[in-house]
Structure 1
Amino acid sequence: MLPKDFMLGAASAAYQVEGNNTHSDLWLMEQMPHTTFSEPSLDACDHYHRYEEDIRLAAAAGLNAYRFSIEWGRIEPEEGVFDEAEVEHYRDVIRCCRANGVEPVVTLHHFSSPIWLIRKGGWDAETTPADFERYVRHVMERLGGELSFVCTINEANMGLQIARIAERYAQQARAAAAAMAAASQAAEADGAVDESQVQMGLNLKKMMENQQLQKAENKEAFGTEDPQTFQSPRSRHSDEVVCEAHRRARAAIRELCPHVKVGLTLSLHDLQPVPGGEALAAAEWVDEFTHYLPVIEGDDFLGVQNYTRTRVGAEGDLPVPEGAEVTQMGYEFYPQALEHVLRAVAKEWTGDIIVTENGIGTDDDARRVAFIDEALAGVERCLDDGIPVKGYFYWSLMDNFEWQKGYSMRFGLIAFDRATQERSPKPSLAHLGSYVKKPLG
């Protein structure tokens, strides 16, 4: 049984649901002739205008919390220029949550960045932590008094995961180039890039193949052939830029709003070594988690985001086992992974934990229900063993724009018609809400 003050809700990201985030880097990237996006976001779910309906649907189903993000490009469309009307929009979203008995949990950066930031060097620039702090201060000075929980950065480790997969692809490409044409074709047909190892909708193979074609387009859009967006393969230097941005944001939040609990979120896999893969699995866990421990020391909570497991062999990550059930994203259907990750995290992090994302992309809502049941059963077992899990947010509240995969991946508890924007709650929404024993407050 979940505690009565347990936050049970769903999550979204502004860029994926609001629509028309024209001041953000990904909007420009969607428009490029050689874009890696399968389709443009356009109006998305029009959550920007329909948030009241969406929040009310969540509350009516019994959910008592909603994690959503604030779009930096809306708040600061030009460097140092703030749009107060957009600040007030997010105040309205927060107050709508409160009016419906839903705890708002705000994320200040969820993958997309202002165009001007990328033109300055993006997430490799020494100036970015200060720029992020300025934005955070502006938001918290105005909205912090109405918040209790803030995530600074979503999946701070994402760039390292992408770098690992990109390097694997590059190695395969070099090997193929050195082989005979027939061997090269066979290597390509074999599978090469396993995009399911990144917990985000990316077209990694297309990203790598389009690099040369995109250089001129990047130069025109961002002033550089190699823009350092948050999703770019990340160097150790870039990783430190992200970490410093979190430190400065946390300090600003503590100064301005000491009542607010602050943390960041990490994308974590249930790493399962097969014989011979133990050393590699351990190294991956350092990259994904433990090297961030000094960075998050003193945070009020850690946001854990998990979707599946990763089996690791002597040569690296292994494909999904033959015959296993897979989701639309190519992930193995493996809801048990969440419990495993929570237990692994708790061995080295003694603070509070919030499951800020966990979910499944599928058109079979019965499988979504089954996934939720198994995932929450694991959470309850962790709670029984004293692991301080304070909340669970299913990803996602509604079907949405799954980044480079477009609208083909359906994670939502609520479906929507792209032509009419009509909402249709799925049975899984009420099922998740049924776990709430007593509303917060």
Structure 2
Amino acid sequence: MVGDWVFPPGFLWGAATAAYQIEGAVADDGRGPSIWDTFAAVPGAVEGGASGATACDHYHRYREDVALLGELGLGAYRFSTAWPRVMPDGRTPNAAGLAFYDRLVDSLLEHSITPVLTLYHWDLPQALQDRGGWLERDIVSWFAEYATTVHSRLGDRVQHWTTLNEPFCSAFLGYGNGVHAPGLRDPRGALRAAHHHLLAHGHAARALRANGATSVSIALNFSPALPDGPDDHDAVRRFDAVHNRFFLDPVLGHGYPTDLLDDLAHLDGLEPAVHDGDLAVIAEPVDWLGVNYYAPTRVTSLADPTEPSNCPLPGLRGMSVLPPRAPLTVTGWEQHPDSLTDLLTHLSQRCGIPLVVAENGAAFPDVVDPDGRVRDTDRVRYFAEHLRAVHTAIEAGADVRGYLAWSLLDNFEWASGYGPRFGVVHVDFTSQRRTIKDSGQFLAQVAARNAVPGGHLG
């Protein structure tokens, strides 16, 4: 099932993780609490009452995990720095926290693995949330300070920088419908938080460049909207505007889409947050775009365009989200690789910059057999079909420079706790034993067959 695909020279093969999902050690070496520590302590907020307090204990086992990447022959590792570890109060650098990322980066380079660093993967310091968090405009300068601090320490060894991961989730799920930290339910506030995320991205991108960074990106999560029938084009437009174009268009310098502003006018939440000059900052050029893709969303139009949607995103009216179609993953997400091909082809034409699949993966029920092997056949098939989709997009002209599987390790999956397993490496959360799954071996084979030097991300 490895396939005979030939990817471009220098195509980056790797895996991705996020700090709060794997590091644990939430009280070690001066780390401050994050909004996810606080949120996980709320009864019922996370499945099984779980938290990232220990997670994969990566903070103490990073050398073992980096060695696993090396064993798999994956040449890139996308990870995030934890803002509350680097700056426990959100403003003051913590030497011990920065030293951990020093050690991690050095270990990656010792194994000839390219670090791809994400500055923010949802773990805001609780001290900043107490001051308003992403609802407060001052967070823009706080984030730029954080970006500068991390780059000053690691910029001599880390080339590739991502400002934010999935601001859609951080703003809309954290501040809009409350299913993620900090657990607020305020559609108007969610729009303001989303704008502040994008503005912080722009200021951080400028700060990184001012300090010498030459490879800067943002990672956005896309869900292509699929119409249920020929009369559902407006449903596609409405969903695409809020889920996808809300974040992509201003980053590309096109501002917020006019149809989006019309759709959201009844909330009066976005436009008051936008000050003169904001859109120019958000449009600070990026060198490549991180594309996170898991599943499409099926939609249909409602007879009344003013009727509220069943989709819990800010401002959506006149459309409804339909159940996904089989085959599904454990998380109930539709497996539809053709949507990834179409997405990458569209984005390459629209953006005009290199793309990297920064996250793609699936959760399935994994079992460690008595012989110690994890035969995750469904995940192997998932990766094969989606890598074929990436290759098809490249053949159609899409400028895709890399593929980073989600995730290297089974980990804390946010509000879902430890139920869904996305890793290509199985983690026994009691013993912390790691076991490479068949899907990990599959990715290793694909990477080995396409290990052609040369190329660059941006």
Calculate the TM-score normalised by the size of structure 2.
0.79
C-alpha offsets along residues 91-114 of structure 1, whole Å, 9 cap, x if unaligned? 111111111121110100001110
Q: Distance in 1 between matches of 2:184 and 2:147?
A: 17
> Does residue 288 of structure 1 match 2:243?
yes
* Matching of residues 24-63 of structure 1 within 5 Å: 24-38=34-48, 39-63=50-74
Cα deviation code 1:355-387 (max 9, x no counterpart): 110000002511111111111111111112221
Structure 2: which amino acid aligns with 1:331?
A: W
2:451 match: 438
Determine which of 2, 8, 31 is the counterpart of 1:3: 8
1:272 aligns with 226
For residues 13 and 117 of structure 1, what CA distance do their matches in structure 2 show? 20
1:109-162 deviation digits (Å, cap 9, x = unpaired)? 001110111001011101100110111111111111111111100002225653
CA contact (8 A) 1:269 1:308 kept: yes
Residue 419 of structure 2 is aligned to residue 408 of structure 1: yes
Deviations 1:298-325 (A, max 9, x none): 111111111111111113211123xx12
8 A contact 1:302–1:352 mirrored in 2: yes
- Mapped to 1, the partners of 2:45 and 2:182 lie a distance apart of 16
- 1:275-354 paired onto structure 2 within 5 Å: 275=229, 276-291=231-246, 292-296=248-252, 297=283, 298-314=285-301, 315-321=319-325, 324-354=326-356
Kindly indicate whether the alpha-carbon contact (under 8 Å) linking 1:5 and 1:440 is maintained by their aligned counterparts in 2.
yes
Structure number with greater CO (CA < 8 Å, separation at least 6) is 1
Single out whichever of 273-282 and 349-358 deviates more from structure 2.
273-282
The alignment partner of 1:304 has SS state of strand
Distance 1:347 1:268, change over 3 A: same
Q: How many angstroms does 1:45 deviate by?
A: 0.4
Aligned partner of 2:385 in structure 1 is 374
In 2: Cα distance, 1:230 partner to 1:152 partner: 23
Which residue pairs with 1:174 in the alignment?
none
- Which residue does 1:13 correspond to in 2? 18
Q: How far, CA to CA, are the matches of 1:229 and 1:129 in structure 2?
A: 21
**RMSD after superposition:** 2.2
Of 343, 357, 371, the residue aligned with 2:359 is 357
The 2-side partners of 1:100 and 1:385 are apart by 34
The Cα offsets for residues 251-310 of structure 1, whole Å up to 9 and x where unpaired, read as 000000233x11111110121112222112112222233343232441111111111111
Give distance in 1, aligned partners of 2:234 and 2:127.
Answer: 41
**Contact conserved, 2:355 with 2:399, CA < 8 A, in 1?**
yes
Match of 1:73 in 2: 84
The 3-state SS of whatever aligns with 2:115 is strand
Deviations 1:4-46 (A, max 9, x none): 3111111000000001335211112212345345322331000
Instruction: Determine if contact 1:357/1:394 at 8 Å carries over to the other structure.
Output: yes
Matched residues in 2 for 1:271 and 1:373: separation? 23
Whether the 8 Å CA contact 2:176–2:190 is kept in 1: the answer is: no
In the other structure, the counterpart of 1:184 is: none
Shift of 1:231: 9.8
Check the 8 A contact 1:62/1:430 in 2, yes or no.
Answer: no
Residues 310 and 79 (structure 1), Cα distance of their counterparts in 2 relative to 1, 3 Å cut: closer
Q: 1:32 to 1:53 in 2, by over 3 A?
A: same
CA distance in 1, matches of 2:340, 2:26: 32
CA distance in 2, matches of 1:13, 1:300: 22
> Which structure 1 residue ranges, 5 or more long, are not aligned?
167-201, 208-226
For 2:342, the aligned partner's letter is H
Aligned equivalent of 1:198: none
Q: Secondary structure at the match of 1:67?
A: strand
Percentage of identical aligned residues:
31
Larger deviation, residues 239-248 vs 292-301: 292-301
Quick one: which amino acid aligns to residue 28 of structure 1? T
Instruction: Determine the C-alpha separation between the residues in 2 that align with 1:273 and 1:408.
Output: 31
State the match for 1:223 in structure 2. none
Instruction: Work out the CA distance in 1 between the residues paired with 2:185 and 2:452.
Output: 37
How many angstroms does 1:245 deviate by?
A: 0.3
- For residues 60 and 369 of structure 1, the distance between their equivalents in structure 2, rounded to whole angstroms, comes to 18
Which deviates further from its counterpart, 100-109 or 156-165? Answer: 156-165
Provide closer, same or farther for how the CA distance between residues 438 and 152 of structure 1 changes in structure 2, counting only shifts above 3 A.
same
Q: Which amino acid aligns with 2:69?
A: A
CA distance in 1, matches of 2:438, 2:170: 35
Which secondary structure state, in structure 2, belongs to the residue aligned with residue 348 of structure 1? Answer: helix
| Contact 1:30 1:37 (C-alpha < 8 Å) held by counterparts | no
2:210 corresponds to 1:255: yes
Q: SS state of the match for residue 394, structure 1?
A: strand
Letter in 1 for 2:164: I
Q: Closer, same or farther in 2 for the Cα pair 1:230/1:75, shift >3 Å?
A: farther
When residues 431 and 79 of structure 1 are mapped into structure 2, their CA distance, relative to the original with a 3 A threshold, is closer
Q: Distance in 1 between matches of 2:92 and 2:453?
A: 37
SS at match of 1:264: strand
Given the superposition, is the C-alpha separation of residues 131 and 421 from structure 1 closer, same or farther in structure 2, using an over 3 Å criterion?
A: same
Aligned residue for 2:398, secondary structure, equals: coil
